[in-house]
Amino acid sequence: MDLSYKVNDSYAEISAAGRLNMVSAPKLREMVAEVVAAGSARIVLNLEETAFMDSSGLGALIGCLKAARQAGGDLRIAAVQPQVQMVLGLTSMDKVLTSYPSAAEAFGND
Amino acid sequence: MTDVLARRTLRQTAEPAAIDAVHEELDGLWDDASFVPELDRMTFATAVIEAASNVVQHAVPETATPVELGVDISATSVRLEALVSAFGAACPDPLDGDAPMPDGEAESGRGLALIRALVTTVTFKRQDGTNTWTLSKSPLHD
């Protein structure tokens, strides 16, 4: 999985391309910790190029959500693809992790 | 019995790199079984990766020899089946077959519940130092 981030005016956007699984989940946790430590707790995770996620990846998303909220911010997900949406739905985590059509819309109204 | 129309197998040391190899075998299976609808591919592949990841993360060697992950996936016209094996592994703790999906705060513990939600049947067998989970999904959608 390739991870990259950029900091905008009101949020940081992390892009994740590839498979979010037991191999890449720790790398995502590290990157979110790094972004939060740098002062950006409002984070959008752009999943447009994330074709696959398993329960390890989902666990990382939840850990990252907690890290962002503990720092006074939030983590939102955007451009969710069908397989990832399926995993979120089957685990009822779609109620906890709200998804937005695009990264720009995730913090669009606040 | 319905003929197997496509099959892929692998066996290698149970380490994280093996998960990418399982993804590649699944892609290869779909190349040969193009009749399988996209939704079935997605659900079955997710279940197989969950089971294989479980072996890599949790299987304990029975001797000094590392555990090997084995995956045998096949497709007939009406059924997808995966045998996911941990060769040389100790017998695992009994699985709680009815373990519920954890709540929203939990960061782990969803794997087995997810597998059960994705496939039709899940069975476990211990034989000759090998633990094998069989996942099957049928019938295929139109």
CB contact under 8 A, A52 and B107: no
The answer to whether residue A91 neighbours chain B at the CB level (below 8 Å) is yes
pLDDT in tens, B21-65: 999 999 999 999 999 999 999 999 999 999 999 999 999 999 999
- Report the residue of chain A nearest B49, measured CA to CA: A54
Average pLDDT over residues A13-36: 96
The set of residues, in sequence order, having a beta carbon less than 8 Å from that of B39 and lying 6+ positions away, is B141
Measured between alpha carbons, how far is B60 from B129 in angstroms, rounded to an integer?
11
Confidence of residue A24 (pLDDT cuts 50, 70, 90): very high
Residue B46 and residue A54: Cβ atoms within 8 Å?
Answer: yes
pLDDT reported for residue B2 = 78
Q: Is A85 exposed, middle or buried (0-12, 13-18, 19+ CB in 10 A)?
A: middle
B98 pLDDT band, cuts 50/70/90, is: low
ipTM of model: 0.92
Closest Cα in chain B, distance from residue A93 (Å) = 6
Distance from CA of B64 to the nearest CA of A (A): 24
Distance in Å, alpha carbon of A6 to nearest chain B alpha carbon: 26
Quick one: pLDDT at residue B107? 86
